[in-house]
Amino acid sequence: MGGGAATGAMSGRPAGAPGRAGRIVAAAPLAIGLLAFGCATPALAGVAVDAGGKVFRLDGGHVTYALGVDDKGYLQPLYWGPEIDAQAPLQARVSTELSGFDPAGMQTAQEFPGQGEGLVTDPGIKVTFADGNRDLVLKYRAHRIEGTVLAIELADIGRPLTVTLRYAIDESTGVVTRSATVRNDGRQPVRVEALASATLTLPGASDYRLHFLSGRHAAEWSQHTVPLSPALTVLESRRGSVGHGNQPWLAISRQGQTTEEAGPVWFGALGWSGSFRLSAQADNIGRVRVAAGFNSYDFAWSLKPGEALDTPPFYAGYSPGGFGGASRAFHRFQMARIIPGGERAPLRPVLYNSWEATAFDVTAEGQIKLAERAARLGVERFVVDDGWFGERHDDKAGLGDWTVNPRKFPQGLKPLIDRVHALGMSFGLWFEPEMVNRDSALYRAHPDWVLNFPGRPRTEGRNQLVLNLARTDVRDHLLGVLDKLLRENDIQFIKWDYNRNWTEPGWPEAGADQQRVYVDYVSNLYHILAELRRRHPGVEIETCSGGGGRIDTGIMALTDQAWTSDNTDPFDRLGIQDGFTMAYAPAVMMAWVTDAPNWANGRTTSLDFRFLSAMQGGLGIGADLTKWNDAEAATAGRWIAAYKGIRATVQRGDLYRLVRPVSGADQTATVYVAPDRAQAVLFAMQRGSQWKDQWAPLRLAGLDPARTYAVRVLGGGALPEGIPARASGAWWMNQGLNLRLRGDYVGMGLVFEAVKQL
Ligand code: DGJ
């Protein structure tokens, strides 16, 4: 911890008066390593420290998070939940041993425990010192408030190893951003074997439920709930990347108290795009212990003397407003604090993507034909997917050779790009930079550039191998290639794909240190993305990994949108989008209208249904437009025009899940409400109408009860019978509306506009 004016014990002075924010004189900004991980530093509401320098609290967005030092020097979590008064008697109390089997240190709910003193819950950090000692007991040493960040330094009781915990709270949502830095001030290397960004504790109760998201390729974002019990639940990726499996996000509710729109929800997300581990467990007295950070499985980092290792951020939030309140708060936080450009980030343009239409068979002529048709529909961005480079005629060759294929594009990309621009659209191009086919010039020149263990098989996935981005030569090569392509071509958008997981995670050149590959790889990926953004500020990036295999709050800070899933079936998508938006903002969630029957499940649906499903995020078209007849093109044109009138509300508004697409559900309804509550959009989707009885009244949410809202059918058409043309927000929210949809896979959008009072 160097530089900057200090407060509290680091300077030997009291940090300031107890109570709310702003009573502490902030010191110089902290130069933290978080930026290296792409973390946007959140704005601070309030950080306060009591006069004795023993109790720390963060207040913001009607949430209080507090921690304190007990008489033995342990840093303890004290409170996390609804805002409490400034005089609240927060105090850390020394724990005694529960029995001879449960010593005092273990019983103490430490804010960030080292693995030592018999700890049996997941530690914040586990190390092995050079002499084989594996006992690490962290106690409070000092604290500082630097800019918007509270930094608390813990030190081992005997050895020169420190952990600095950092905290900031978002004043609007109460989301707390936490991270940790471990530093070796000794003379020997220390082997770090587990390192969390945060560990968190909730008081004992028997009714906690843990919620998480999981899935597989083309079936991402399914939702799961389990009781929080003494059985340790681990959500993790061991794949090198986030993957399609468990998401680095969780929520905790209380059974019987928490519903979609009411009751307590604690939630958290790790801003890391590599192997991660989130764990949750009720301890021996029922307290919930959560740990979140790098996955310790197969990971190790040799911390040299004087070296420090930063974790990625963990975002921790609380809402008293149920799952809906929690997700809306986190969406707002992401839009304001994580997504590049924050609240000023441009809305997602309507895009066209060639993948489902042409697969690898891309040619200048064919793409121009598609672009001309797309432009006529009102599409704003044209994206050429896989197949434009090297000898890429199928998925067996070409990855790694990022030069335009001269037979497919005899005059390079320029004629296509010029035509796309002349049609009034921006131009985007697909890449999969981290991968290589054996059948490629790059692999023939650099077979040592892939992750591998010498003498062992190099397992292929989709006929490709993973380049070892942890190597600086590989990192610099990729940055150079991409930078050159962006300099030489007028490109506005990159779709950044990643189509396999790691198998043999070897880095032979790093010898005994090679298990740091899990961190170095992702840090270098972030470096390339950040550097491309810096050098080409006009270029937007989409994160994609065979659909939604690499979406998390880490990559979100360096990309502008996310490809949610390769499953483009509009009914499956309702469940996928419901799961996605539990954790992440619709502002980045892309959804395409593709051809029917759908490639994923063979289901045939109407174009209207496909549009109504895809319009609930960032709208895209992925169909073969050369096969659309005039009537289909006219329908699409109408929907795209209608979407442009509501997209700000969909992408930037508050999402209310009125009827959730739980398994087997016949009906689904969502409402998006603009931040100024001047517009709301209701999407009602019906899978089938087996029974004569139809929908229960749909009661809207989030409107201003006192304003009058006029309603119209999205995309045009007469209002269904019985729905008044205008009524107050109070009416729409309390009386609601009765909708009768007839048929299978049908839907309707209704737009509510606040009527201007004269
Ligand atoms: C997987 C992506 O999710 C698809 O959209 C497409 O880009 C293919 N890769 C191309 O290989």
pLDDT, tens only, 406-450: 999 999 999 999 999 999 999 999 999 999 999 999 999 999 999
Give, using CA atoms, the residue closest to atom 10 of ligand 1. Answer: 386
Q: Beta strand 561-563 with 589-593: parallel, antiparallel or unpaired? A: parallel
Is residue 43 scored above 80 in pLDDT? no
For tokens 């420090």, what's the residue? 308
Residue nearest to atom 11 of ligand 1 (CA): 386
User: pLDDT digits over 357-366, tens only?
Assistant: 999 999 999 9
71 tagged catalytic: no
Atom of ligand 1 nearest to the CA of 355: 6
Q: Which atom of ligand 1 is nearest to the CA of 430?
A: 7
pLDDT confidence of residue 106: 86
DSSP states of 699-747 as a string?
A: ---SS-TTSEEEEEETTS-PPPTT--SEEEHHHHHHT-B-----SSSEE
Q: Give me the pLDDT at residue 2, please.
A: 29
Q: What is the pLDDT of residue 757?
A: 76
Strand partners, 437: 464
Given a cut of 60, whether residue 306 has pLDDT beyond it is yes
CA 565 to ligand 1 center in whole angstroms: 10
pLDDT at 12 over 60: no
User: How many other C-beta atoms lie within 10 A of the C-beta of residue 182?
Assistant: 25
Query: Looking at residue 5, what is its pLDDT?
Result: 28
CA of 464 to the centre of ligand 1 (A): 14
The mean pLDDT of 4-27, rounded to a whole number, is 26
CA of 395, closest atom in ligand 1: 11
Q: Ligand 1 centroid vs 368 CA: distance in angstroms?
A: 20
**Amino acid sitting at position 512:** A
The pTM is what?
A: 0.94
3-state secondary structure of 76: strand
CB-neighbour burial class of residue 270 (10 A; exposed 0-12, middle 13-18, buried 19+): buried
Expressed in angstroms and rounded, the spacing between residue 644 Cα and the centre of ligand 1 is 26
pLDDT of amino acid 45: 55
Mean pLDDT value of segment 330-351: 97
Is the pLDDT assigned to residue 17 strictly greater than 50? no
Q: What separation in Å is there between the alpha carbon of 210 and the centre of ligand 1?
A: 32
Distance 430 CA to ligand 1 centre (A): 9
Q: Is the dihedral of CA 647, 652, 656, 662 positive or negative?
A: positive
Q: What is the pLDDT of residue 100?
A: 93
Take atom 4 of ligand 1 and give the residue whose Cα is closest: 546
pLDDT at 689 (0 to 100):
81
Angle at 519 between CA 194 and CA 508, to 5 degrees: 105
220, 550, 563, 590, best to mutate for ligand 1 pocket (most atoms within 8 Å of CB): 563
Summarised one tens digit per residue, pLDDT across range 198-212 is 999 999 999 999 999
Which pLDDT band, with edges at 50, 70 and 90, does 148 fall under?
Answer: confident
Query: Mutate which of 216, 220, 388, 566 to test ligand 1's pocket (most atoms within 8 Å of Cβ)?
Result: 566
Distance of CA 153 from the midpoint of ligand 1 (Å) = 45
| Confidence band of 375 (pLDDT split at 50, 70, 90) | very high
Task: Tell which one of 356, 384, 385, 551 to mutate to probe ligand 1, the residue whose CB is within 8 A of the most ligand atoms.
Answer: 385
Residue 140 DSSP symbol: E
Residue nearest to atom 2 of ligand 1 (CA): 546
The more confidently predicted of residues 103 and 424 is 424
Protein residue with its CA nearest to atom 6 in ligand 1: 355
* Paired tokens of 692: 């004569």
Q: Are strands 351-353 and 618-621 parallel, antiparallel or unpaired?
A: parallel
Q: Assess whether 654 carries a catalytic annotation.
A: no
Does residue 75 register a pLDDT over 70? Answer: yes
**Mean pLDDT within 262-290:** 97
Q: What is the pLDDT of residue 393?
A: 98
**Dihedral over alpha carbons 444, 445, 448, 454 (to 10 degrees):** 40
Of the ranges 49-58, 157-166, 323-332, 501-510, which one carries the lowest mean pLDDT score?
Answer: 49-58
Percent of residues, the chain, with pLDDT higher than 70: 93
Backbone angles phi and psi of 630, in degrees to 5: -60, -40
Residue 26: pLDDT band (50, 70, 90) is very low
What is the residue with the minimal CA distance to atom 9 of ligand 1? Answer: 546
Q: Helix/strand/coil (H, E, C) string of 629-693? A: CHHHHHHHHHHHHHHHCCHHHHHHCEEEEEECCCCCCCEEEEEEECCCCCEEEEEEEECCCCCCC
| Alpha helix (H) residue ranges in 363-500 | 364-377, 414-422, 441-445, 472-488
Pocket residue to mutate for ligand 1, from 499, 541, 598, 621, most atoms within 8 A of Cβ:
499
Question: What is the per-residue pLDDT across 221-237, written as a single tens digit (0 to 9) for each?
Answer: 999 999 999 999 999 99
Nearest-angstrom CA–CA distance, 266 and 279 = 14
Q: Which residues line ligand 1 (CB under 6 A)?
A: 355, 385-386, 430, 497, 499, 544, 546-547, 563, 566
Q: What is the pLDDT of residue 7?
A: 29
The burial of 758, by beta-carbon neighbours within 10 Å (0-12 exposed, 13-18 middle, 19 or more buried), is given as exposed
* Spatial CB neighbours of 726, under 8 Å, sequence gap ≥ 6: 708, 709, 710, 711, 755
Cα gap 496→341, rounded to integer Å: 19
Tell me what pLDDT residue 183 has.
98
Residue 396 has pLDDT above 90, yes or no: yes
Instruction: Write the single-letter amino acid at 390.
Output: G
C-alpha 263 to ligand 1 mean position (Å): 40
Which is the catalytic residue, given 156, 439, 520, 566? 566
Distance CA 708, CA 754 (A): 6
Tokens 């000898």 correspond to 391
User: Which listed residue (156, 386, 497, 654) is catalytic?
Assistant: 497
Whether the bond between 597 and the residue before it is cis, its omega within 30 degrees of 0, is yes
Residues 6+ apart with CB under 8 A from 249: 212, 213, 267, 268, 269, 270, 278, 552, 582, 583, 584
- pLDDT at residue 664 is higher than 70: yes
What distance lies between CA 522 and its chain's CA centroid? 15
pLDDT in tens, 672-723: 999 999 999 999 999 998 766 678 899 999 999 999 999 999 999 999 999 9
